[in-house]
Chain A
Amino acid sequence: MFGLFKKKDELEPSLLGRLKESVSKTRAAISAAAGNIFLGDRQISPELLKKLETALLSADLGVATTREALEAVREKMDREALRDAGQVKSELKKQLLRIFEAAESSPAAAGAGAAANGDGPRVLFIVGVNGAGKTTSIGKLANRLRQEGRSVLLCAADTFRAAAIEQLEIWAQRNGVEMIKQKSGADPAAVVFDAVTAAKSRGVDAVIVDTAGRLHTKSNLMAELEKMKRTAAKVIPGAPHDVLLVLDATTGQNGLAQARQFTSAVGVTGIILSKLDGTAKGGIVVAITRELGLPIRFVGTGEQIGDLAPFDARTYVDSLFD
């Protein structure tokens, strides 16, 4: 029913272009930082591995993931199966790609992207820590759905942060879609109830629920999110169909704890990696995918309505080195 979660070979060229563009902006900075890993290095040297390690660590992959990826490469090097620096590089990329490919067939990915059962709107929850880019990503997602010809309803369930409702309202206007809200400070589950009920009765294709930012360590706020989820399921069995965790690309090792906690509380089905237009690489998603099998759905590449691209593992892995 939905084209939201397309396979990578179905990507629109324009979006791919945009991602590449944003990625190439960072490329210069990265190769400078990693000391041009592959330029001067035709030969395999001990320094080569060190440079690769630095590149991965600098991209926030974390100690364990970096070590695991490099171990596999080192092992092949020891067997002299890799002849030059170029081969070392492509082997390392292969290792990382394998992690993303495994996630595509993981249980988490299987549920997501599946068509809603036909009788009722598809419900998407957008969750994450404070300031990650949830509301902005919703504005961009709504735009994508509208372009696919879907009708969309937004739900202003961040009733906590100052002017959060007004912010989402502007995105609703930009997209020409309706938004359901209550007063600031209202019970977010009640807003979810209103929105999902309205969407159902109006026969809207999708409801996107904006939630307040919350640190994954706050059990009361995580319980609030669980309640919102139960409320949605009461109105539409099976809802929410997608729970997308928005992760800021500048996030370091804490991203893994975020993904773990949100997944155990509300069953995250995929990730939106925001703010990839900066110099941060968001490499913690490699660790997250490796451990939790969560697929990366989209990347955010700016603050404008069109700055959202489907995630492409190959382009992403390339961006870690080129």
Chain B
Amino acid sequence: MFENLTEKLQRTFKNLRGQGKLSEEHIDTALGEIREALLEGDVNVGVADDLLAAIRAKALGSEVMLQLSPDQQVLKIVRDELTTLLGKHAKPLFASRPPSVWMIVGLQGSGKTTTTGKLSKWLTQNGHRPIVVSTDVYRPAAREQLAQVAKAVGTTLWPGAGTDKPLEIVRGAIREAKLSASDVIVVDTAGRLHIDDELMNELGMLKKELQPSEILFVADSMTGQDAVRSAGEFHKRLGLTGVVLTKLDGDARGGAALSIGKVTGAPVKFVGLGEKYDALEAFYPERIVSRILGMGDILSLIERAEQTVDRKMAAELERKMRHNEFSLEDFRDQLKQIRKMGPLEQIMDMLPKMGPLANMPRDAHVDEKKLKQVEAIINSMTNEERGDHNVIDGKRRKRIARGSGTTVQDVNQVIKQYMQMRTMIKQYGTMAARGKLRGLGGKLSGMS
């Protein structure tokens, strides 16, 4: 099921089992593959090379564990290293005496105003009384945008009418917050380049006036190598307390999160997953690591599955996976579950975009129809056939096709797909059985 990097590492370490220490030569080949994965994932080249040095040292010193194959062992070191760099899951900060101030800063178009709306909604849902204010006096209609956003999420807005001086606007907002007993002021600021001295000074002045408990850097997850410079400069000037990573609903790998973590040390506190104001989630470092490495957001997928999938069925399925007893009937049940999980498109977005799944059609509409067809075909089989696909000869295929209103080719295809999935599951099953996929295996057993 997993892609590229996993496979490449497997190849690199093919003949290494039971050899004591990992050899230097093998490790360096593996590091080359890892470097490429990191760079493809938009991790800054300097940050990637530092990471690789640390990974190399750890890998060289480690004994080959009986429990883990060498490729899995290296992958584990890589994951641990990346997760450490991203820091721990961190909660947002409030002042000891309200109102707390959250300053929202970042480059142009990264998602600051939208995030301001999302945060105020999140705050309200968590029992706070936020007030939002825009200090973006530069971008056309920027203040109007926040006004509309505030209306949409039902948050109090300080319009700051009558002045276009950011400092005066926020002074008014502080007064208003006290009058209206608001406990958090979320301050939206204009997008600016980190090399724009004048505007960076403006942020410094606002910070001095506001004494914020959070200065959140809003970063676009599609950002490339430059993230170290922009985030680094914002941090140097302001001392960032956290990061919001936006637009993660796309297919960007999000390596900028690592680059930003490295140069600022500030934890990612939230991620943005859409344009709607409830598309904001807490950030869990482990989850993005496999995504950056091009392995898809497997954990989110599993969490989604956990929420919708029948637990007993999942446990049973896991047992079957371990014992290679995955039948056509299970295949059908799986497809049903997948359809229950929501629009296929969204699920596809969480799967790895590389390796064996790279060319998988991602058109949801076609697939939904196909899924129904597959179900119909399997429904037309006898119990015996569903239990053992080997008995399905040409004659039976014709009957199944007639029964399901499809063609023999369609039936052939379903059986082929089933066999492919079975093979995939077999590989996965052995991994999970050996407890190799810490997160995944653990999560799956937790479902029972």
A residues at B contact (CB < 8 Å): 25, 29, 33, 54, 57-60, 62-63, 129-133, 160-164, 166-167, 169-171, 215-220, 248, 250-255, 257, 275, 277-281, 284, 303
Contacts and interface: CB of A to CB of B under 8 A. Distances in A.
Contact of B363 (A60, A131, A219, A281): A219
Interface of B: 36, 39-42, 44-46, 107-111, 113, 138-142, 144-149, 152, 193-195, 220, 222-227, 229-230, 247, 249-253, 255-256, 275, 345, 349, 362-365
A254 B349 contact: no
Contacts of B152: 162
A167 B224 CA distance: 28
Pick the most buried of B107, B145, B149, B275: most chain A CB atoms within 10 A of its CB: B275
A163 B141 contact: yes
A279 B195 contact: yes
A160 B275 contact: yes
For the complex of A and B, list the 7 residue pairs with the smallest distance between their C-beta atoms, beginning with the closest.
Answer: A252-B224, A131-B109, A280-B226, A252-B42, A163-B145, A170-B140, A162-B148
Contact of A278 (B144, B145, B226): B226
- Would you call the interface of chain B mostly helix, strand, loop, or mixed? loop
Contact of B39 (A63, A169, A219): A63
A250 B141 contact: no
Contacts of A60: 224-226
Contacts of A29: 195, 229
Contacts of B144: 163, 166
A54 B44 CA distance: 10
Contact of B108 (A57, A219, A251, A303): A303
Contact of A284 (B109, B224, B251): B224
Given A219-B363, A250-B223, A284-B224, A303 B139 contact: yes
B109 A278 contact: no
- Would you call the interface of chain A mostly helix, strand, loop, or mixed? loop
Contacts of B111: 130-131
Given A252-B223, A278-B107, A130 B256 contact: no
A253 B229 contact: no
A217 B353 CA distance: 11
A161 B275 CA distance: 8
Contact of A163 (B148, B220, B362): B148
Contact of B40 (A63, A166, A251): A63
Contacts of A215: 247, 249-251
6 contacts: A57-B45, A58-B44, A58-B45, A161-B275, A163-B145, A280-B224
